[in-house]
Structure 1
C-alpha cells in the first residue's frame, strides 16, 4: 500500500494471527513493525524498529539466507554432489588470473556456480572472469573434482587420481582418453 509522502507499506498476517509490516521510506530507511487493528480485542504488544538501509539489507539476507542454506543443504545430500567454497588468498595460483575453463584442463563435470566479491555475487561467471584475493568461488561437482579444482586454484597443477597416468576426467558413460 502506498503511503503518500512517506513510502510503501507491505503487510502480512502470520500463521498464529500476528500482524507484521515493513514501511519502506523514500529516504532509504525502513521500519519493521508489528501492529493490531480495531478488530483485535486482545492485548497486543506493538513493536516498531527503525532500520537503516544497510540494516534492512542485512535482515533480508538473514531471513532469505535461511532458505538458500536449506536449499544448498538439500542439494549437498544428493549422492555424488559436493558444493564448496574456495576463498582466494594472495599466494594462490588463481589470484589475479581469469577463471578459465577447467574442462579444457581435464576436469569435466565441475561448475563454478558464482564468484562472491565483497557483498556482490557474480553468478555463472565466464572463463574470462578475473579472480582476485578475497574472492570466494562457489563450486559444485563430485567431491573428487571439487578437490582437484581447489588443488589447481592453489598451486596451478592438477593432481590426477585416476589409475591411468595423465588420464582426463570424462563425463559419465564416456571412457577416459589419454592426454596429448
Structure 2
C-alpha cells in the first residue's frame, strides 16, 4: 500500500504526496478554488539531475484524470471540509508575458478590485507578507490573494491582461452629480 502524506496548505487547499518505487515524488495540490496542480519531482534534492514537472488542471480535468487513474473522491471530500463559504485564497504565478510582470503591485482597490487582498508575494524561497503598493512584481513571483471567488478571478484576469471587465451596474453606484 502506498503511504500518502496529506498536508493542509492554509488558505490554499490540501497537498497530497507519495514517493514512488524509483525515488520520485508525486503530488496533487487541491486548491480551494476547485482547480488542482499535479506535480512530480525527484526525491533527492542534492541530485544534479533533479527535474520537476507541474501541470495545472481545472476541476473537470482533475476529475477526468482521477477517473482514468481509478481514483476515488476522497480528495474532493477532504477539500470540501476545508472550504470557507464566500472566501477564496489562491495563488497566481507571474509569467514573462503577464501584464503585472515588471509593474508595481499597487492596491487592488485602485485597480478597480475592491474587496481583494494581496496577502503575500512569494519570490524563490522567501515570502513577502502584506506587500506595499510599490512592491515590484517580477516573472516567477507568486501572488497570494484572498477575496470572493469572483474578485480572485477578476484579479487574475487583470494580472494576466491588464484589463478589467466593466459592469453596467457601476454607473448606478456613482455618487450623485458625478
Which TM-score band applies after superposition, normalised by the shorter structure? 0.5 to 0.7
Q: 1:76 to 1:152 in 2, by over 3 A?
A: farther
Q: 1:114 to 1:76 in 2, by over 3 A?
A: farther
CA-based RMSD: 2.7
Q: 1:147 to 1:118 in 2, by over 3 A?
A: same
Matched, 1:141 2:141: no
Which residue is equivalent to 1:109? 115
Q: 1:90 to 1:135 in 2, by over 3 A?
A: same
Instruction: For structure 1, list consecutive stretches of 5 or more residues without a partner in the other structure.
Output: 1-62, 169-174
Q: How much has 1:102 moved relative to structure 2?
A: 1.8
1:93 pairs with 96, 99, 102, which one?
99
Instruction: For structure 2, list consecutive stretches of 5 or more residues without a partner in the other structure.
Output: 14-78
Deviations 1:35-80 (A, max 9, x none): xxxxxxxxxxxxxxxxxxxxxxxxxxxx9x935x156548961111
Q: 1:113 to 1:70 in 2, by over 3 A?
A: closer
CA contact (8 A) 1:76 1:82 kept: no
Q: Distance in 2 between matches of 1:177 and 1:76?
A: 37
Q: Distance in 2 between matches of 1:71 and 1:139?
A: 9
Q: Radius of gyration: which is bigger?
A: 1
Structure 1 counterpart SS, 2:7:
helix
Matched, 1:177 2:174: yes
Q: Distance in 2 between matches of 1:125 and 1:163?
A: 32
CA contact (8 A) 2:11 2:89 kept: no
Counterparts in 2 of 1:21-36, with a 5 A limit?
Answer: none
Q: Distance in 1 between matches of 2:10 and 2:106?
A: 30
Which residue is equivalent to 2:7? 66
Counterparts in 2 of 1:129-168, with a 5 A limit?
Answer: 129-160=135-166, 162-164=167-169, 167=170
Q: Distance in 2 between matches of 1:136 and 1:107?
A: 19
Q: 1:97 to 1:84 in 2, by over 3 A?
A: same
Higher strand share: 2
Q: 1:112 to 1:70 in 2, by over 3 A?
A: closer
